[in-house]
Structure 1
Amino acid sequence: MGNARKRQGDKAELAAILYLAGLAPEHTVERPRRVLGAGRRDDEGDILVFPGVAIQVKAWRELSGAIREAAIGAAQQAVNAERRYHLGLSKRHAARTDSWVASAASWPVSLDLAGIPVIGQTARAVSIVTSSVEPTTDRIVLVRRQGVPDLYVAHPDAWITAWRTAVSAPARSMGMSQLEAS
C-alpha cells in the first residue's frame, strides 16, 4: 500500500508542476522540478516552481485534511528553506474543473477581510472557491475556527495573483523587486 501512495504522490507532484508553470510561465524557475529529500526533518518543499516559494502538494482523498496539512507543511518548509512565501496545493480527485485548491497559513499580500468570506469549515471553503461565479482571482476564503490557526483557501489563480503583486512591489532597501531578490 505504501508504494501505491508514493506513486500517487509522485504523480500529483509532477501534475502540480505542470499546472503551476502553466498558470505563471513568466515567473517559473528555469527548471521546475520535484525537490529531492521531501519528508525529512528540514524539508524545503515538494516542488520548486517559483523562486522564493516553498510548495507542499497533497493528493489525499480526505480533501479538508489535505488542504490544512498542505498549508501548515508549506509554511514550515518556507522557514526551513528561508523562503518568504509558501503555498499548499491540494488535488481534488474526480473534479471536472478546478482540480487544484490552494491554501496558505498567511496570504502573500494584505487582504481586506470585509471583502472575503470568513467561515468555519474547510469543506465549505472549497465549495465556495470551486463553484463561485467570481473570477478565479477573487476566489479567496478565510477559514477561522476557535483553537486552530487561520487558513486561507483559494483558487490557485488567486494565490498567484497575490504573489505576483507581492513580488512586484519595490523592495524597501534595495530598489529591486522581491522576485529578483529571492
Structure 2
Amino acid sequence: MIILILGVILLILMMRSGYRAGLVTTIVRVFLWLVIFYISMKLAKPLGEVISTWVGGQFIRPEVPQAISHHGQQFLASGLVSLLLIVIGNVLSRYLLQSVHLVRHLPFLGGLDAILGSIFYGGIALILFFFILQVLSVLPNAWIQDQLVGSPILNYYLDRFPVFSNAIYQWWL
C-alpha cells in the first residue's frame, strides 16, 4: 500500500512539473528521453552482466514467466544500470532544455501549453513508475516483496501495462 501511495505522489508531482514546464518543453524533453531510453535499453544487458555478480535478487511474483524466473540477479543488475543511465541522461537533458521556455510567455498558448504538458507528464510518470516497480520486484527485501505481493493493484499494473509488460524481459535479460 505504501508503494502504491508513493506512486500516486510521483504521478501528482510529475503532473505538476508538466504543468509548469509546458507541452513544448515536454516534447523536446520526451525526444531526449527516448534517446536516453534507447541507450539505456541497449546498454542495460551488457553492463548488467558486468555488475550482476555484485547484486543479489530473485523474482517473487508468480506471474513472471517460468523460463526466466531464475534470472532475478541479472534482471536486478540490468534494471539498476538502466535506471542509473536514465538518471544521468535526465541530468544532461535538463541542462540542454534551459533555452526552450519561450512558449510559456504567450497569453493563451501558455495556458494550453501548461495543461497539455501536465497530461503528457502524467503518462511519463506512469511509465517511470512501471520501471521502478520492476526493479523493486526483484530486490531481496522482505518488506518490499510483501508490499508488492499484497497489492493486487500493483500486480495488475505490472502485468498489464501496455507494451512494456512483456517486452521488459527481453530488454533486461
Normalising by structure 2, what TM-score? 0.26
Greater fraction helix: 2
Higher relative contact order (CA 8 A, sep 6+): 2
Greater fraction strand: 1
> Which one has a bigger Cα radius of gyration?
2
Normalising by structure 1, what TM-score? 0.25
